[in-house]
Chain A
Amino acid sequence: MPARFLRAPIAPTVSDDGLYPFVPSISLDTLWFQVAGTICNLKCTHCFISCSPSNHSHEMLTLGEVRRRLAEAIPLGVREYYFTGGEPFGNPEMLPILEETLRQGPATVLTNGMFLSPDRCRSLKRIFDASEYSLDVRVSIDGYTAEVNDAIRGAGTFEKILGGISNLAGAGLNPVVTVTEACEEAGSPAGRARFLDWMRSIGLERPRLKVLSLFRIGAEEGRLRAYESWESLRGRHLTEDESEKLQCSSCRMVTSRGVYVCPILIDEPRARMGESLAETLRPFRLEYGACFTCHEFGVTCRT
């Protein structure tokens, strides 16, 4: 599931005068799969690609499609595989997909935690144990009270997420818990420490927390409006270092509709770079407001 790293509308910034910088394709380290398409059992108020049970703009990927992409990935030297949606565990083939992926390399699944039954968690643990590579399950939550979380993720979700987390822990998997700054507190050291304490209190002995901190101060405000025209990379020149820090210099995203530049821009027609992975390993024009956010705040969707 797309972490809520961006919520502002991802509209291309106005001008088309060729002044936007291009990000080079340095390598293909991280291959993303929009494995559940835009289909999700939840409808979080901050979902940046508006996933819902009825959003079919990207469809689920089948095991066959993933298999074909894994084969394509071998000569390109992909290092790691990420699965998102929508809700990956809404995909009936998710377990075999992970099993097959983990024969080839490490995998991370981004989930809302709703479908993590004890049984499924035990299967995940078996898949993890059978591989020489790492498997990470990343569960999103938006606060450590039902009140705060449910306002964003929907009534009753807090309890279910907790259940999912403890099922993972019970099966011997240590999830990465992701919070966004919708849970503002987690951004400060004290808030972070409280969050870690809370994670220990729900039975995670070695709590692993990822805070997706995108916007610093005034974040809420920033997220509630569209990008303004100055918030773009127009006229900017990227240094080699800056290019390297942008995830799009080393990632691509596979959806049912083709290969996109990154996990963020899958609703942008021009961010679809082609059909085969190899042909998309070329520079990309950073013309979107979201690109400004990535650049300014060092956003990466990796763990």
Chain B
Amino acid sequence: MPDVTRLAFFGGVYSNSLALEAALTHAKRSSADGLYALGDFGGFGPHPDRVFPILLDAGVESIQGNYEESLSSGAEDCHCGYTDPRDNHFAQISYDYTARKTSSEWKRWMRTLPKTRRLEVAGRKVLLVHGSPRKINEFLWESTSPVSFLEKMLADSDADVLVCTHTGLPWTRLLPSGRRVVNAGVLGRPANDGRTNVWYARLTFGRDVSVEFVPVEYDHEELARRMREERLPGEFIETVSTGWWTTCLEILPAKERERGRY
């Protein structure tokens, strides 16, 4: 076995503690050498406070997402970066619920998290961000993040590998320079593909860097039950149960939108 380092990256958890547990079990079984969470622990799902102890117990290293930045600074909204009134309407429901149900102790903890993180793995500079290196809530979508744009972004931020989340959809692009961008997807909700599983990203650093998106099955019916109990919107529950997004649709670029049901 050549000398390799395997790292697991978790995108937005969105209060989905069930999926987080399932992903951690999987990552540990596949002997990950490091576990990283890219922010947005709350939002969308129920009982935000259940997520943090799981992260800490598992030794996950975390950075802030726009949710943590907003919650820990007492902001009025999630700064998700939506521009459509319907998207914002649902985003506000998530945020108000999460802000109310997150204890001040955890809000203080969030404030101590860094916004970015740099690692040096097998001679490569790895940069962890929530949205992009320049903005915590910038959306890096596959179909609107062209090669030349990413090349400059990675060169400017002195990174060989960039790992991000925030959009909710996993993808990766190997750039002509050999640099690489990975959007780890999210654990919080399915990837708008009609499947109920969620995703995390596993990077293997050896002579090359390889990326694998790992599907995570979890008890989505139990999540839906808890969401109903907490009176979260039926639209959110439909997404959990069907794998199709029903909200945050207007922010999707044409390609990504075409692949979904709505």
Contact = CB atoms under 8 A, between A and B. Distances in A.
Given A77-B151, A77-B153, A206-B249, A104 B146 contact: yes
Contact of B258 (A80, A174, A189): A174
B177 interface: no
Interface stretch (A54-62, A130-138, A284-292): A130-138
Contacts of A78: 146, 148-149
B225 interface: no
Nearest to A74: B148
B262 interface: yes
Nearest to B142: A132
B56 interface: no
B148 A73 contact: yes
B257 A174 contact: yes
Contact of B146 (A105, A128, A189): A105
Interface in A230-264: none
B148 A106 contact: no
Contact of A136 (B146, B254, B262): B254
A134 B152 CA distance: 20
A14 interface: no
B258 to A, nearest CB: 7
Contacts of B148: 73-75, 77-78, 104-105
A106 B249 contact: no
A82 B153 CA distance: 21
A79 interface: yes
A76 B146 CA distance: 12
B253 A106 contact: yes
Interface in A103-141: 104-106, 128, 132-136
B255 interface: yes
B144 A79 contact: yes
A271 B253 CA distance: 31
A43 interface: no
B31 interface: no
A295 interface: no
Contacts of A174: 254, 257-258
A133 B146 contact: yes
Contacts of B257: 174, 206
B73 interface: no
B145 interface: yes
Contacts of A208: 250
A106 B148 CA distance: 12
A192 interface: yes
A106 B144 contact: yes
Nearest to B262: A206
B85 A106 contact: no
A80 B144 contact: yes
Nearest to B254: A134
A164 B89 CA distance: 31
Contacts of A192: 85
Q: Which of B144, B146, B151, B257 has the most CB of A within 10 A?
A: B146
Contacts of A128: 254
B143 interface: yes
Contacts of A173: 254
Nearest to A244: B135
Contacts of B151: 77
Q: Which of B147, B249, B262 has the most CB of A within 10 A?
A: B147
Question: What 7 A-B pairs come out closest when comparing CB atoms?
Answer: A77-B152, A105-B146, A134-B253, A134-B254, A134-B143, A79-B149, A74-B148
Given A29-B149, A192-B85, A206-B249, 7 more contacts: A79-B145, A79-B149, A80-B144, A104-B146, A134-B144, A206-B257, A206-B262
Interface of A: 27, 29, 73-80, 104-106, 128, 132-136, 173-174, 189, 192, 206, 208
